[in-house]
Amino acid sequence: MADNRITDPGLWQRIGHSRYNLFKSISRFDEDGPRLLSVAIDRQKPEGCQMFPSIEVSLLLHYKSSPQAHLLSTPSFKMKFSIAIALALSANGAFGHYIFNKLIVNGVTGGAFSNIRSVSSNSPVEDVSSTNMRCNVGGASGSSTTTTTFPAGSTIGFVLDNTIYHPGPLAVYMGKAPSGTTAASWDGSGANWFKVYEMGADFNPFKFQSMDKSTFTFTVPKTIPSGDYLIRIEQIGLHVAGAPQYYISCAQATVTGGGNAQPSKVSIPGYVTKDDPSLTVNIWNPVPTAYKVPGPAVFSG
């Protein structure tokens, strides 16, 4: 059996969860595709690749018991395989990126970017010192975004345009717009942010709780003051050790019927540092036995 693994880490990162699309694509190009290409569980991580641990799926080319097995080495098959990879990557969108584009307010889901600030792309933020950490690239202003209104204690949620498949933690922050600003005009500057929700990891086996999910809901603390807020969600992809990716969106809201609580606040950027062990960790080897979500503790009210 020929074991021609794809070992380029960059290619593996871009393929991400397109492996199923890849299998479907190659099948379209050659009637022998299903027999010649297998998507199988590989108990050994591909050499030079940090993206997938032993429990992940690896693409494995191998010969089948078929008279046409020799096709694997032909230029025609290699060309078809390359086309299939391209199709699989495009089917998954922008090399495996995603964006939170819808807001849920007490069970009602709004339209895409109706209450969430539009951003330049679905690419992640990678510089923790950048002001783009607040509301993503292009999200500094929400003048074209509708501000939703709900009472304190409401159930709020974010919907992703895909499912989470870059393993890592998830957190939601709220920031009260300073005096003289609104949810639409505030750029997120200053020490005004506090965490209201987070999802970490489970163990035995190790898995981040946000994986394979697309909807995330939480309860807004009843005791926070009334007023205009930005609600910021972040999911941190840790699939490349030492190079975290932040998938960020900000919603605009007016909270009514609140209280007088004064949670401890942080600035963004500044709430995490690039050398935070929770961000530099290699989640593949050794597999973590404990994990702390970056940032401050959750304020529950």
pLDDT in tens, 254-283: 999 999 999 999 999 999 999 999 999 999
145 has pLDDT over 70: yes
Distance of CA 132 to the CA centre of its chain: 16
Q: 182 is written with which tokens?
A: 């609104």
pLDDT at 18: 41
Pairing of strands 245-256, 148-151: parallel
64 has pLDDT over 90: no
In angstroms, the CA 246 to CA 242 distance is 13
In a 3-state reduction of DSSP, which class is residue 157?
strand
Report pTM.
Answer: 0.73
- Spatial contact of 160 and 199, defined as CB atoms under 8 Å apart: no
Distance of CA 148 to the CA centre of its chain: 24
- Domains, the chain, with CATH or none: 9-94 (no CATH), 97-280 (2.70.50.70)
Q: State the DSSP code for 221.
A: -
| Percent residues over pLDDT 70 in the chain | 68
- Spatial contact of 44 and 7, defined as CB atoms under 8 Å apart: no
pLDDT at 97: 86
Q: 174 is written with which tokens?
A: 């709220």
pLDDT at 75: 59
pLDDT at 301: 87
pLDDT tens column, 154-204: 999 999 999 998 999 999 999 999 999 999 999 999 999 999 999 999 999
Q: Mean pLDDT, the chain, as a whole number?
A: 79
Q: Considering only CA atoms, which of 101, 134, 139 is closest in space to residue 119?
A: 139
The maximal CA–CA distance of the chain, rounded, in angstroms, is 76
Residue with tokens 């510089």: 127
43 has pLDDT over 90: no
pLDDT at 151: 99
137 has pLDDT over 80: yes
Q: How confident is the model at residue 68 (pLDDT cuts 50, 70, 90)?
A: very low
